Amino acid sequence: MKTLTCDVCKHPIVQPINNRNYFHLGHRDLCEPCHDELQLLIKPTVRTKSPFNYEWYSKLVQEAIEKAIQKSKF
């Protein structure tokens, strides 16, 4: 049995299944609740960006995750 720990909230992710109950973004692992909060946080910003640029989006996600790790929450 493999157990991961969420990089943001530090809760264990029991029986991890990628893209189902944990998400690997960049070099970070996020539990499902933290991933949902991340999506809610960046959604308004992403909707205003035109034209969409994946490099910009990737940078936005990584910066949001790093800030959340420092605060231990989103």
User: What percent of the chain has a predicted confidence (pLDDT) above 90?
Assistant: 80
For residues 62 and 3, the model is more confident at 62
pLDDT band at 54 (very low <50, low <70, confident <90, very high): very high
Mean pLDDT, the chain, rounded, equals 92
pLDDT confidence of residue 33:
95
Is the link from the previous residue into 51 a cis peptide, with omega within 30 of 0? yes
Mean pLDDT for 34-54 is 93
Task: Report yes or no: 69 and 62 within 8 Å, Cβ to Cβ.
Answer: no
pLDDT of residue 73: 82
- Check pLDDT > 70 for residue 1: no
Domain coordinates of the chain in residue numbers? Answer: 3-71
